[in-house]
Amino acid sequence: MKFIFVSGGVISGLGKGITASSIGLLLKSRGLNVTAVKIDPYLNIDAGTMNPFEHGEVYVLDDGGEVDLDLGNYERFLDLELGSDHNITTGKVYRSVIDNERHGTYLGRTVQIIPHITDEIKRRILAAARDTGADVAIVELGGTVGDIESMPFLEAVRQLGRDLGRDDVLYVHTTLVPIMGTVGEEKTKPTQHSVRELMGIGIRPDVIVCRSSRPLEPKARAKIAMFCDVDERAVVSAPDARSIYEVPLTLERQGLAEYIVERMKLAPLTSGRHMEGWESFLRNVLEPKDRVCIAIVGKYTALADSYLSHTEALVHAGATIGCGVKVRFIDSDEFLKNDPSALLDGADGVLIPGGFGIRGVEGKITAAEYARSYYAYGLFGLFNTWVRHGYQETPEEMANIFMGIK
């Protein structure tokens, strides 16, 4: 099995998860079997008790595991069904090591970060990947290079490069290339410092993905390749995209997948890429024939990532029928202070997600009551038309069914 490790530097929020998902999609389009693992360096056992305002969405897997929202991106991009073992946290690792120490597993030896913590990290990565039987496992390292809490994971990843052999391991590093001044000069120094920090740990990146507001100029690409000691083909520009689903095609146009296939000596099942379905999906996302507005009424609306799966489900459903979806977030407490008709003016539909605790519940109920009455009676005339074209139910019965009375 081959392993691709994706790390991040300079600042958080550069899109390591989207980069990892996009690489996986490109390899999958060539017939390779791909899986994904997410490492989170926080001490929580899982994301289940974390505040969505601070952490974003708590994504729930098929086995009930409550994990980081990036695993949702993996499942959506790669059409996977992952388990909770595919999310490794510091809490899981330390709890396992401490339990082993209490049970005498280490036979009285002093328990240390190296080798006991790093060995447990490596064991979990290998087990999660190999249980799937995939050709390639993409492992995203949460946090930023230089963070104290990330150090044991980076050391474990460095050791895996030695254990498995460099032909079977590829290191991808995502960095920021800011554009400064009125002349719009691309600054490569943050990338150089980030790579130097990574190399100080003992990891030499094979690919550098440069996030910026616009495509990277050839001069900047050549400079990064020289100072960071990588192939110029391996310096990849990841400019701001109109949609996250555009990123795989941006990376594909720069030959990233072909470079990875050559560097890791992979044996794709198909020649070239087969992404016609993805391109059609993206066209429907970017150039829809129709548009609707859906109001999401919740208690964590100050952070859009809190409802990421809801918004992406609407995007996917809309793209299937060529319809663009504009999402409007409304704090449920607003319905206790303002007229629902004003808050929902212009919305074609209302989605009311769940939440923790009692705060915001009354506002959700008010929004639901208004939506049930307004939208149901607004469709009364449409139901009447349907009945005239052969439906057996009366308009009143159809309205009652729609409102959930029957």
Give the DSSP per-residue string, 378-398.
Answer: HTHHHHHHHHHTT-SS-HHHH
pLDDT for residue 295: 92
Tokens of 139: 């492992």
Query: Are 207 and 350 part of one and the same domain?
Result: no
- Reported as a pLDDT band with limits 50, 70 and 90, residue 233 is very high
Cβ–Cβ < 8 Å for 33, 198: no
Q: 296 pairs with which residues across the strands?
A: 329, 351
pLDDT tens per residue, range 294-311: 999 988 888 888 899 999
Residue 391 tokens read as 């439906």
The average pLDDT across 236-254 equals: 94
The C-alpha atoms of residue 58 and residue 90 are separated, in whole angstroms, by: 17
Is the pLDDT reported for residue 326 higher than 90? yes
270 and 324 part of one domain: no
Q: How many CA atoms lie within 13 A of 362 on its CB side?
A: 7
Same domain, yes or no: 216 and 192: yes
Domain assignment present for residue 282? The answer is no
Q: Is pLDDT at 383 greater than 80 in this prediction?
A: no
In a domain, 25, yes or no: yes
Identify whether 338 is part of a domain. Answer: yes
pLDDT in tens, 73-125: 999 999 999 999 999 999 999 999 999 999 999 998 999 999 999 999 999 99
pLDDT band at 405 (very low <50, low <70, confident <90, very high): very low
Q: Which of 252, 274, 296 is the last residue of a domain?
A: 274
pLDDT of residue 406: 35
Residue 296 in any domain: the answer is yes
CATH of the domain at 299: 3.40.50.880
- Percent of the chain residues past pLDDT 70, beyond the cut: 90
pTM assigned to the model: 0.87
Domain boundary among 231, 252, 274: 274
| DSSP-assigned states of every residue in 315-340 | HHHHHHTTEEEEEEEEEGGGGGTS-H
- In this predicted structure, the answer to whether residue 72 has a pLDDT above a threshold of 70 is yes
pLDDT tens-digit map of 181-208:
777 789 999 999 999 999 999 999 999 9
At which residue do the structure tokens 């388990």 appear?
Answer: 83
Q: Are residues 245 and 299 in the same domain?
A: no
Give 29-48 pLDDT, tens digit per residue.
988 999 999 999 999 999 88
The per-residue pLDDT for 382 is: 47
Do both 15 and 116 map to the same domain? yes
Determine the average pLDDT of the residues in 349-366.
Answer: 85
DSSP annotation of 47 reads: G
pLDDT at 324: 92
Q: Are residues 184 and 315 in the same domain?
A: no
Confidence bin at 17 (pLDDT 50/70/90): very high
Chain mean pLDDT for the chain: 88
> What local confidence, expressed as pLDDT, does residue 196 receive?
94
Decide if pLDDT at 221 tops 60: yes
CB 209, CB 238: distance < 8 Å: yes
253 with 320, same domain: the answer is no
Q: Binning pLDDT at 50, 70 and 90, where does residue 358 land?
A: confident
Task: Give burial (CB, 10 Å; 0-12/13-18/19+) of 101.
Answer: middle
Residue 269 lies in a domain: yes
Token pair, residue 301, equals 């609306």
256 and 336 share one domain: no
Question: Do 51 and 195 fall into the same domain?
Answer: yes
Domain-located, residue 341: yes
- Please state whether the peptide bond connecting residue 205 to the residue before it is cis, i.e. omega within 30 degrees of 0: no
CATH number at residue 242: 3.40.50.300
What confidence tier does 376 reach under pLDDT thresholds 50, 70, 90? Answer: low
Q: What is the mean pLDDT of residues 325-344?
A: 90
Q: How many domains would you assign to the chain?
A: 2
Where among 274, 297, 331 does a domain terminate? 274
Same domain, 236 and 297: no
Q: What is the pLDDT of residue 311?
A: 92
Is residue 283 in some structural domain? no
The whole-number pLDDT of residue 349 equals 87
Which of 86-90, 275-279, 336-340, 391-395 shows the lowest mean pLDDT across its residues? 391-395
Statement to judge: residues 265 and 320 lie in one domain: no
Q: Are residues 143 and 245 in the same domain?
A: yes
Exposure class string for 274-311: b at 16+ Cβ within 10 A, else e: ebeebeebbebbeebeeeeebbbbbbbbebeebbbbbb
Residues spanned by the domain of 240? 2-274
Taking the C-alpha atoms of residue 65 and residue 365, their distance in angstroms, rounded to an integer, is 29
